[in-house]
Structure 1
Amino acid sequence: MRLLFKWLLRIAAGAILLCLAGVLLVYFLASQSLPEYDKTIALPGPTAPIEIVRDNANVPHIFPSFGASDEDVYFGLGYAHAQDRLWQMVVLRRTVQGRLSEVFGTRTVETDSFLRRLDMYRLAQRSVAVQSPATMAALEAYSAGINARLLEINEQALGRGAPEMFLVNMPIAPWQPADSLAIMKLMALQLSGHMREEILRAQTALALEDPDRLRDILPDAPGKGVTALPEYAALFPELPRIAQAQSPEDPWMPVAPRGLAGASNAWAAAPSRSAAGGTLLANDPHLGLTAPGYWYLARLELATGGVIGGTIPGMPAVIAGRSQVMGWGVTSSYLDDQDLFIEKLNPDNPQEYLSPTGHKKFLSRPSIIQIKDQPPVTLTLRWSENGPVLPGSLFDLDRITPPGHVVSLSWTALSDQDTSMTAALDLMRAQTVADGLKAGEKFVAPSQNLTLADRSTIALKTMGAMPRRDARNQSQGRLPNPGWRRENKWNGTFNYAANPEFVAPTGGILGNTNNKTVDRPFPNHVSFEWGDTQRINRWRRLMQAREVHTRDSFIEAQLDTVSYSARTLLPLIGADLWYSGEAAPDGTPERLRHDALALLAEWNGEMNEHLPEPLIYAAWIRALQKRLIADDLGLLADAYRHVDPLFLERVFRNVEGAAVWCDIRQSARTESCTDMARLSLDDALVELGETYGRNLEALRWGDAHQATHDHPVLGEVPLLRFFVNIRQSTSGGDNTLQRGLTSGDGPNPYQNVHSASYRGVYDFDDPDSSVFIAATGQSGHFLSRHYDDMSQLWRRGEYIPMSLDEELARAAAVGITQITPR
């Protein structure tokens, strides 16, 4: 027995030593790719020495030496991006190329197939020829900086450049200018939601017995009404009127689920509304949370002056930021730049489709997808005159497509004359609001509202190509249209002058929270689908509450967590429940409901992470919407992941008979909206009790509303996920200015998955007092202390200095890299 024990002890000790050796080996290999920031190095590419000073937050400040050019500065940015975010950049490039399956196998074939059909990378290659000479010089220099880092990695055996490279065999080709243009197109895809909206509208129209109820569940933004649309079933009577389950979302697909496309906030104040007499600008673009985040903070010292702000690794532009004389911010405009078309195939020749002038042959060519450890797959890419043909399996398109038809996509980003990168670089060199507005003319996609502030003026302008639709368009771009009808086709795009524009408003304040910006009749309407109808109400109140504003009041608004929706909805849905119940003993559902209502009655609508009321409210309205729509939409109800406050308000105010949603059609009795409110509150309390416990006062919104900065590849690897994923308790909610959009489904429906991954507030009375922050950190290397060092600041609503002061950058710098020409 003693001998057996000795051997068991030796085996256990050996196993522990082997595990320890394995951990040390992994750490050694991974640490080899940690960037060295304090060094002098000679590299091919620059024409003169440059210096990259990384301040104490690891933000690179790129300074040219005497005789250096702007191209040398762009070289430095490319080098810095590749130091910190190489893995992220090459994955983005492979995504837009449709080449993920070469590395990740069969799980990414559908994503590759979709991106190949869009042909975005080839369109980016063709768009290289239409960039301005200055933009081409910047793109080439930026590419040279990335490639210089790749050369350094190879020459010095720097751990393949990123720790992920040891787990995933991903050969890296040299960077080219087209790669940066392609990544901008990929961002456009991630920020576009009209395609998904059209699909859902068509599915819902087929599922509802009463077509008048479509305007309840998919309500229009407040304002003048929209002219009547045809029933989708009338356009395509072959389709069955039935609700069907939604296919699960593909985590690799760069098209966001409904509600998770672009969002943002931006507002500006003219000198007349500024306490110090200078203009103010605040901006916080919203993207899906990931680790590392999409944004990378940087400062470039150009010939026209220094610029500082948020960049996207893979592109040589400050997308949101400021110079010494002007600031710019972006918000998703929700311009309707996508339309789906149902193409009728020639029954005698499926290689042809019906057009307004008769049958035409699809443009087609083969494309081979290489798949790791599997035989390759050959696709036939097809384009009609409306755009690329999409597979029926994509986003359940086959369920809204009649037999003998296929679906094509028209989208402004599918252009080989895309000058958006030139517009972005011109904007960085702009010295006035007028210059910035002019730069926006070259922007194609993604469409954004550009908010500008120079030292004396503020403005807001919608950038991006706006499709010109015929006034006779059958669905006004809201449903998939018959592609063979001439009146449904696009007639090019509007002139830039037609895009909404607001310059020097008389009130001295302007802003956008993805709300409806104009109310123009179709086809000059810009969009019927807007990003938010709620945040704008809270923003308007905060802006009008002060005669003059400061940097700090703009920060306060940016971090505001009061839900206008909660303040509006609770008195409606609880109107007949407050204090109306009889006394009930402890432990009964009636007592729990009474206690929940008592808490909500005293709540001011603040979605604070430390309070129980936000969680009770969020669970209640989520359960309420599910009860209202489940019997009408059946399995399709799962597609409505997020609560629409306008829908609930229409129902409980009985707008145009919307209270009919409260009656359960399958039951014998007629349920009232009060019944549904009470039952759904009980549903919510049961859910919360099972998950978080029955003590309501012990609930914390932040326990459920965790920000999920997850690594898209390593985040699912056992043990490793605890090192690469960043989780944080957060305030805010779906409809607060400090927006933290919940996932809406799955085991954790209240997780914060889409939020302000960049925040900036600029004060042009004292520009160097401006501040900014990113959601995670500068580094994409999980062993770096800069992987998540900004995350707690971001969570607490803190910022770091956004200064162009060189001495401040050098103070306590974490490293200075001096690059000389080789």
Structure 2
Amino acid sequence: MALLFRWLLRIFSGLLFLGLAALAIAYWFAARSLPDYDASFRVEGVEGPVEIVRDNANVPHVFGETDADVFYGLGFAQAQDRLWQMTMLRRTAQGRLSELFGQRTVAIDSLVRRLDLYNAAVRSVEDQTPEARAALQAYADGVNAWLEQVNAGARGRGAPEFWLFSPQIAPWQPADSLAIIKLMGLQLSSHVRSEVLRARTSLALPDARVRDILPDAPGNGITALPDYAALFPDAPRYAKADDAPRDSLSPVMPRSLAGASNAWAAAPSRAAAGGTLLANDPHLGFTAPSIWYLARLELDSGGVIGATIPGVPTILLGRSAELGWGLTSSYLDDQDLHIEKVNPDNSEEVLTPEGYKPLETRTSIIEVAGAEPVTLTLRWSENGPILPGSQYDLGTVTPPGHVASLSWTVLTANDTSYSAAFDLMRAKSVEEGIAASETFIGPSQNLTLADGESIALKMIGAMPRRADEHQSKGRMPTPGWLSRNRWQGRLPYASNPEFVDPTGGILGNTNNKLLDRPFPLHVSFNWGDTQRIQRWRRLMQNREVHTRESFIEAQLDTVSPTARSLLPLIAADLWFTGEAAPDGTPARQRQRALSLLAEWNGEMNEHLPEPLIYATWLRMLQERLIRDDLGPLADEFAHVEPLFIERVFRDTGGASAWCDVVQSARTETCEEMARLSLDDALIWLEENYGRALESLRWGDAHQATHDHQVLGDTPILKWFVNIRQSTSGGDFTLQRGMTAGTEPEPFNNVHGAGYRGVYDFADPESSVFITATGQSGHPLSSHYDDLGELWRRGEYIPMSLDPELARAGAVGITHLRPR
């Protein structure tokens, strides 16, 4: 026995030693790609010395003798910190993910190839201004200079992920940067999904009930739409959608996660210090690292500082000494689906106003790791690329003998959006900023501006020109062979909504409805917010003057106006009613929950139990209201629709009909639905978090999921690459933390403000900003997540253009010199 024990101990010790040795070797190889920020390099392509000063938060401040050298330095710095992320963005835009990930990503590559994003970017390079083209080329040269260093030296292939996947990296090209902008457009788009969902719902419900579950934003709305079945009598009425879970690598977001943001500004008359104020926090899906990368560029026109996207050489959100700018999703309806009638005698022709015409076709081959290549035949009609029924659930609304095509401004070949963003960086005033953005095509954004004296909001991006008699007004797919449904060019830039120096001295946008103009100047019928704007208006009007601190307070506000308005409606017949119930019974648990909610102020604080009780109740309530009417289609409404709940409980237009279970003999009331759904919620909470309601914490369920897109689901590795944080906020708070909406963790915080910035032009150097993770994309770097805890606590870092301040606490200074 003693001998056996000794041998077992030796085997265990040997295995432990081998395991530790393997870990040490893996760590050594992975750590080789950590850059030395204090190094000096001799490089080709710069005219003079370039200095990259990384301040104490690892934000690079890039100095050079020419603008081209500065952009070269930015490319070098971003490649040092985010090489894997940049190459993944490029691969996604090129439709080449399957070369690494096999069959898993063939559907993603197929969609991107059919949209032809990368070729559109290639064709757009020559349409940029000479200065913008020079910046794109210099940036690409800087990225390639770092790739040369990786290839020449023992630098761990440039990023640890390249030890697990192909280490080959093609040289960076100017078109790669433009393709990433188009890829962001794909991520921010939502109108295709909205059109399909409205068509599917129209096939399943009468028009009055469609208006309940898909209501228009408050304000004068649109007259009744045609019944989709009237447009296409042969459309499949109950076709099942693809229920495959969304891949983390897919750039196509669910309808509710397509894009959101906040931005607001105050004129000097409404600022305590007498200078303009601007706050901006764009909302995107969380990843590790964040999509945002902070940087400062010292250009001939002056210093600019703010947030960039790795791979794109421009400060997209930020400020100079004279001007600040922020972006929010405009929700411009810049996409239209068309149903094309295929020639029954020739499947390569579709009907047009002039008769049947051939489709434009091209073959594309997707290389698939571990499998045979996939050959696609790409097709375009006069309206745009033909998309298969498997994409966007188009098969559920496309009748036999037809195919679907897409018109979308982002597919414009001569896209000058980058040049507009480049010129915006150099603008000195609100007026110059608006003028610089005229050539911006897409993705459409609301641009909020502030200089020393003025504030403005201008929607930028090309507005499609639709005919007054368009059959669905862009809200549902329409027959593509009818002239009245086709786009007729673009509206002039002057048609884009514009607000300059409003009388009240404050303007802002939370993706809410901007204005009320008749179709086709309406901008959109689908807006991203009807709730947060209410809270923002109250916070802005509660003060006569504002400060940097009050703008920060508004960015971090976690009070839900939705909770404050809906709880009194759905609990009106439940609060303080009924007989006393013994402890341990469902009735007693219900009374305890109602008692907590009755005293709650609607603050979605991570440490409180009430937000979790409320959110679970609303989720269960909507499920009970819609499941019997919509069946599988109810899965498309994964998030609470507050306007729908309000319509039902106010019985607007007979909407209380949703409370009746259509399959039952009796007629159920909304009070019963509220009570039953609260019981459902309490059972779910007990199963997942325990029975003690007072000990629940919203933050335990509302975890921010900054997950690595590739390694985030890999056993063991996920503990090193994913960043999880308990967070406050919710779907309808200014500090937005959009929930996943799907099991098993429906309240995970998956979408929010990955960047926050507040700019004070009374003292520009007191401006602040922050991102949700860190500057480095390397999991072994101390800068991988060092900004994340500050972000979670609602803290910021200085946003200074003072070079001496950057040098004073620098974590390193990189020198690039001509070879």
- Scaled to the shorter chain, the TM-score interval is over 0.9
Write the deviation string for residues 59-84 of structure 1: whole angstroms up to 9, x where unpaired: 000112xxx10010000000010000
Task: Report what 2:626 is aligned to.
Answer: 629
Question: Does the CA contact (< 8 Å) of 1:244 and 1:634 recur in 2?
Answer: no
Q: Report SS of the residue matched to 2:715.
A: coil
Task: Report what 2:3 is aligned to.
Answer: 3
Q: Which letter does structure 2 place at the counterpart of 1:469?
A: R
Whole-angstrom distance in 1 between the partners of 2:412 and 2:246:
26
Q: Report SS of the residue matched to 1:502.
A: strand
Kindly state the Cα deviation for residue 211 of structure 1 after the two structures are TM-superposed: 2.3
Task: Report what 2:83 is aligned to.
Answer: 86
Q: Which letter does structure 2 place at the counterpart of 1:59?
A: V
Alignment pair present for 1:31 and 2:31: yes
Kindly state the Cα deviation for residue 552 of structure 1 after the two structures are TM-superposed: 0.3
Whole-angstrom distance in 2 between the partners of 1:694 and 1:243:
40
Whole-angstrom distance in 1 between the partners of 2:806 and 2:221:
53
Task: Report what 1:211 is aligned to.
Answer: 207
Alignment pair present for 1:730 and 2:703: no
| Residues 143-222 of structure 1 aligned to structure 2 (within 5 Å) | 143-208=140-205, 210-222=206-218
Whole-angstrom distance in 2 between the partners of 1:383 and 1:292:
36
Q: Which letter does structure 1 place at the counterpart of 2:689?
A: Y
| Residues 185-264 of structure 1 aligned to structure 2 (within 5 Å) | 185-208=182-205, 210-242=206-238, 244-251=240-247, 252-264=249-261
Task: Report what 1:679 is aligned to.
Answer: 676
Question: Does the CA contact (< 8 Å) of 2:235 and 2:399 recur in 1?
Answer: yes
Q: Which letter does structure 2 place at the counterpart of 1:192?
A: S
Partner of residue 402 from structure 2, selected from 401, 405, 418: 405
| Residues 700-711 of structure 1 aligned to structure 2 (within 5 Å) | 700-711=697-708
Q: Which letter does structure 1 place at the counterpart of 2:56?
A: N
Whole-angstrom distance in 2 between the partners of 1:519 and 1:253:
34
Question: Does the CA contact (< 8 Å) of 2:305 and 2:318 recur in 1?
Answer: yes
Question: Does the CA contact (< 8 Å) of 1:207 and 1:243 recur in 2?
Answer: no
Whole-angstrom distance in 2 between the partners of 1:427 and 1:329:
11
Task: Report what 2:305 is aligned to.
Answer: 308
Q: TM-score, normalised by structure 2?
A: 0.99
Q: TM-score, normalised by structure 1?
A: 0.99
Whole-angstrom distance in 2 between the partners of 1:592 and 1:293:
41
Kindly state the Cα deviation for residue 246 of structure 1 after the two structures are TM-superposed: 4.7
Kindly state the Cα deviation for residue 169 of structure 1 after the two structures are TM-superposed: 1.2
Task: Report what 2:811 is aligned to.
Answer: 814
Whole-angstrom distance in 1 between the partners of 2:796 and 2:578:
47
Question: Does the CA contact (< 8 Å) of 2:195 and 2:475 recur in 1?
Answer: yes
Q: Which letter does structure 2 place at the counterpart of 1:762?
A: Y
Alpha carbons of structure 1 residues 368 and 492: separation in structure 2 relative to 1, 3 Å:
same
Alignment pair present for 1:494 and 2:491: yes
Write the deviation string for residues 502-535 of structure 1: whole angstroms up to 9, x where unpaired: 0010110000000000110011100000001000
Alignment pair present for 1:116 and 2:135: no
Q: Which portions of structure 1, spanning 4 or more consecutive aligned residues, are displaced by more than 6 angstroms? A: none
| Residues 356-367 of structure 1 aligned to structure 2 (within 5 Å) | 356-367=353-364
Write the deviation string for residues 26-56 of structure 1: whole angstroms up to 9, x where unpaired: 1000000001101221111111001100000
Whole-angstrom distance in 2 between the partners of 1:243 and 1:491:
32
Question: Does the CA contact (< 8 Å) of 2:208 and 2:653 recur in 1?
Answer: no
Question: Does the CA contact (< 8 Å) of 1:412 and 1:445 recur in 2?
Answer: yes
Alignment pair present for 1:483 and 2:483: no
Alignment pair present for 1:779 and 2:768: no
Whole-angstrom distance in 2 between the partners of 1:275 and 1:243:
58
Whole-angstrom distance in 2 between the partners of 1:288 and 1:29:
30
Alignment pair present for 1:40 and 2:40: yes
Write the deviation string for residues 699-742 of structure 1: whole angstroms up to 9, x where unpaired: 00000000000000111111110010000000000000000000
Whole-angstrom distance in 1 between the partners of 2:498 and 2:73:
35
Task: Report what 2:694 is aligned to.
Answer: 697
Kindly state the Cα deviation for residue 245 of structure 1 after the two structures are TM-superposed: 5.0
Kindly state the Cα deviation for residue 431 of structure 1 after the two structures are TM-superposed: 0.3
Q: Report SS of the residue matched to 1:735.
A: coil
Whole-angstrom distance in 2 between the partners of 1:475 and 1:211:
14
Q: Report SS of the residue matched to 1:491.
A: coil
Alpha carbons of structure 1 residues 366 and 246: separation in structure 2 relative to 1, 3 Å:
closer
Whole-angstrom distance in 2 between the partners of 1:749 and 1:542:
29
Whole-angstrom distance in 1 between the partners of 2:209 and 2:226:
14
Q: Report SS of the residue matched to 1:444.
A: coil
Alignment pair present for 1:270 and 2:267: yes
Task: Report what 1:326 is aligned to.
Answer: 323
Question: Does the CA contact (< 8 Å) of 2:157 and 2:167 recur in 1?
Answer: no
Q: Report SS of the residue matched to 2:103.
A: helix
| Residues 429-508 of structure 1 aligned to structure 2 (within 5 Å) | 429-508=426-505
Write the deviation string for residues 381-435 of structure 1: whole angstroms up to 9, x where unpaired: 0000000000111122111110111111100000111000000010000000000
Question: Does the CA contact (< 8 Å) of 1:627 and 1:680 recur in 2?
Answer: yes
Question: Does the CA contact (< 8 Å) of 1:103 and 1:170 recur in 2?
Answer: no
Whole-angstrom distance in 2 between the partners of 1:204 and 1:502:
36
Whole-angstrom distance in 1 between the partners of 2:221 and 2:799:
44
Write the deviation string for residues 776-810 of structure 1: whole angstroms up to 9, x where unpaired: 00000000000000000000000000011111111
Whole-angstrom distance in 1 between the partners of 2:251 and 2:54:
32
Instruction: For structure 1, list consecutive stretches of 5 or more residues without a partner in the other structure.
Output: none
Question: Does the CA contact (< 8 Å) of 1:245 and 1:638 recur in 2?
Answer: no
Whole-angstrom distance in 2 between the partners of 1:580 and 1:593:
11
| Residues 554-703 of structure 1 aligned to structure 2 (within 5 Å) | 554-703=551-700
Question: Does the CA contact (< 8 Å) of 2:150 and 2:158 recur in 1?
Answer: yes
Whole-angstrom distance in 2 between the partners of 1:240 and 1:497:
41
Alignment pair present for 1:57 and 2:57: yes
Write the deviation string for residues 213-255 of structure 1: whole angstroms up to 9, x where unpaired: 1000001000002111100111111123326355223312211
Question: Does the CA contact (< 8 Å) of 2:437 and 2:460 recur in 1?
Answer: yes
Q: Report SS of the residue matched to 1:453.
A: strand
Task: Report what 1:73 is aligned to.
Answer: 70
Partner of residue 748 from structure 1, selected from 745, 752, 772: 745
When the two chains are superposed, the root-mean-square deviation of aligned CA atoms in Å is 0.8
User: How many matched pairs?
Assistant: 818
Q: Report SS of the residue matched to 2:728.
A: coil
Q: Report SS of the residue matched to 2:33.
A: coil
Q: Which letter does structure 2 place at the counterpart of 1:631?
A: D
Q: Report SS of the residue matched to 1:394.
A: coil
Task: Report what 2:545 is aligned to.
Answer: 548
Question: Does the CA contact (< 8 Å) of 1:243 and 1:636 recur in 2?
Answer: no
Identity of aligned residues (%): 69
Question: Does the CA contact (< 8 Å) of 2:132 and 2:422 recur in 1?
Answer: yes
Q: Report SS of the residue matched to 1:374.
A: coil
Q: Which letter does structure 2 place at the counterpart of 1:585?
A: P
Q: Which letter does structure 2 place at the counterpart of 1:363?
A: E
Q: Which letter does structure 1 place at the counterpart of 2:2?
A: R
Whole-angstrom distance in 2 between the partners of 1:383 and 1:253:
23
| Residues 787-802 of structure 1 aligned to structure 2 (within 5 Å) | 787-802=784-799
Kindly state the Cα deviation for residue 270 of structure 1 after the two structures are TM-superposed: 0.3
Task: Report what 1:715 is aligned to.
Answer: 712
Whole-angstrom distance in 2 between the partners of 1:706 and 1:48:
47
Q: Which letter does structure 1 place at the counterpart of 2:22?
A: G
Whole-angstrom distance in 2 between the partners of 1:63 and 1:593:
63
Q: Which letter does structure 1 place at the counterpart of 2:510?
A: T
Task: Report what 1:140 is aligned to.
Answer: 137
Instruction: For structure 2, list consecutive stretches of 5 or more residues without a partner in the other structure.
Output: none
Whole-angstrom distance in 2 between the partners of 1:501 and 1:77:
33
Write the deviation string for residues 67-123 of structure 1: whole angstroms up to 9, x where unpaired: x10010000000010000000000000001001111111100000011010001000
Question: Does the CA contact (< 8 Å) of 1:246 and 1:636 recur in 2?
Answer: no
Q: Which letter does structure 2 place at the counterpart of 1:122?
A: N
